[in-house]
Structure 1
Amino acid sequence: MSILDHLTGPQIPSLEGDGVLLRMPRRGDYAAWRALRGDSREFLKPWEPLWTADELSWEAYRLRIRRYNQDARENTSFSFFLFDAEGRTLYGGTTIGQIRRGVAQSGTLGYWMGERYAGSGLMPRAVDLMKLFAFDVQGLHRIEAACLPSNTRSIRLLEKCGFTREGHLRNYLKIAGRWEDHYLYSLLAEEWSRSRSRERLCGLPAE
């Protein structure tokens, strides 16, 4: 970590488990981020907001890092890059954002994966770490996620990770320049706690 990262960034712990590492983006990640996003441009664009002309520029990345750090300091959103266990290879990223406190205690899950790593089983591991962060560290009660009805890969991911489809949202988000319907998924803290309890019980030695 550079001195500038240390001085300007919030002190958010890295998340490690099952052969992957999640940590907040740093200025020094720019080259790897630009290369991965650039190589995955056509793969990612159908599922994301319209890319700007300077989407992959250093200035856009610098402003992105500034926003990530500000959001984390305000406890409204936390963005992580997804790496291998040693933190050397960048695979993608994930976010828990739109965090609401008070009576809601909820947040929205987002994620992206470089095309070359899609379908490799890495994102389910990242989502499991994000559930730990959201429920155990941030104390949220509910995680929401929205995906396009045509995004079968994302639907499989969410359902594999224990999310339940709750509804169909009309013209919910502007994706690739068009307002698109989305499926709404959610996971509750008590559902996650029950699954964690089952995992612990399954791990007990037989008597």
Structure 2
Amino acid sequence: MGLIDHFSQPHVPVLAGEDVMLRLPRRSDYPAWRALRGDSRAFLTPWEPVWTEDELAWPSFRRRIARCNQDAREGSGYGFFVFDAPGNTLLGGITVGHIRRGVAQSATLGYWMGERFAGRGHMRHAVEAVKLFAFEVEGLHRIEAACLPKNQRSIRLLERCGFTREGHLRGYLKIAGKWEDHCLYALLAEDWLRSADRPSQPRTSSQDPVALDG
């Protein structure tokens, strides 16, 4: 990790899941991120907002990092990159965003996976790690996730991770240039506490820039 990464990143734990490791993105991740997103473009664009002309350019990535760090400092959101367990290969990304405190204690879940790593269970393990972080570390009560009705892969993921379908949102998000309806899913802390496969404690560690790059 470079000095800029070391001094600019907020103190957010690294999350360890089954065969995955989650941490905040760094400037040094740019080549791997650009390659993975670029190779997966046709796979990702049907499910995302329209990509900008400079979507994969360095200035755009640098702005993403700045926003991610700012959100983490404010406690309003956490955008993690998903790596394999050793932390060597970037697999995708997962975000706990739009965090509301006070009487809500809720957040929105978002995620993406590189095409060549999809269907291997990595994102399910990433979601499980994020659930642990959201409920036990951040003390949230509710995690929401919205997906397109035709995105059966995402629906299966959410249901397998214990999310319950709560409704249908009309014209909820502009995806691929078109306002699309979405299915609303949610998971409550008490649902998670009752789950039989819940780990006994969060598997997190302090963010160690030197050790993780080694």
Scaled to the shorter chain, the TM-score interval is over 0.9
Q: Secondary structure at the match of 1:193?
A: helix
Residue 59 of structure 2 corresponds to residue 59 of structure 1: yes
SS at match of 1:49: coil
Contact 2:192 2:198 in 1 (8 A): no
Q: Shift of the alpha carbon at 1:17?
A: 2.2
The correspondence of residues 1-207 of structure 1 with structure 2, limited to 5 A, is: 1-196=1-196
TM-score (norm 2): 0.91
Distance of 1:171 and 1:7 partners within structure 2: 41
Deviates further, 13-22 or 51-60: 13-22
Amino acid at match of 2:11: Q
**Which blocks of at least 5 consecutive residues in structure 1 are unaligned?**
201-207
Distance 2:70 2:110 in 1: 18
Specify the alignment match of 1:205 in structure 2.
none
Cα separation, 1, equivalents of 2:186 and 2:142: 7
> Take 1:95 and 1:22, find their aligned partners in 2: how far apart are those partners?
10
Structure 2 letter corresponding to 1:62: R
Sequence identity, in percent?
69
1:198–1:30 CA distance, 2 compared to 1 (3 A): closer
**Which secondary structure state, in structure 2, belongs to the residue aligned with residue 93 of structure 1?**
strand
Distance apart, 1:86 and its partner CA: 0.8
Distance 2:14 2:199 in 1: 23
- Where in structure 2 are there 5+ consecutive unaligned residues? 201-214
TM-score by structure 1 length?
Answer: 0.94
Distance 1:191 1:65 in 2: 33
Matches of 2:16 and 2:196, distance apart in 1: 17
What is the CA-CA distance between 1:3 and the residue it aligns to?
Answer: 1.2
Count of aligned pairs: 200
CA deviation profile, 1:40-92 (whole Å, cap 9, x unmatched): 00100000011000000000000000000000001111000000111100000
| Gap change, CA 1:199 and 1:91, over 3 Å in 2 | closer
What is the alpha-carbon distance in structure 2 between the residues aligned to residue 109 and residue 152 of structure 1? 17
Backbone CA RMSD of aligned residues = 1.1
SS at match of 2:195: helix
Higher RCO (CA 8 Å, separation ≥ 6 residues)? 2
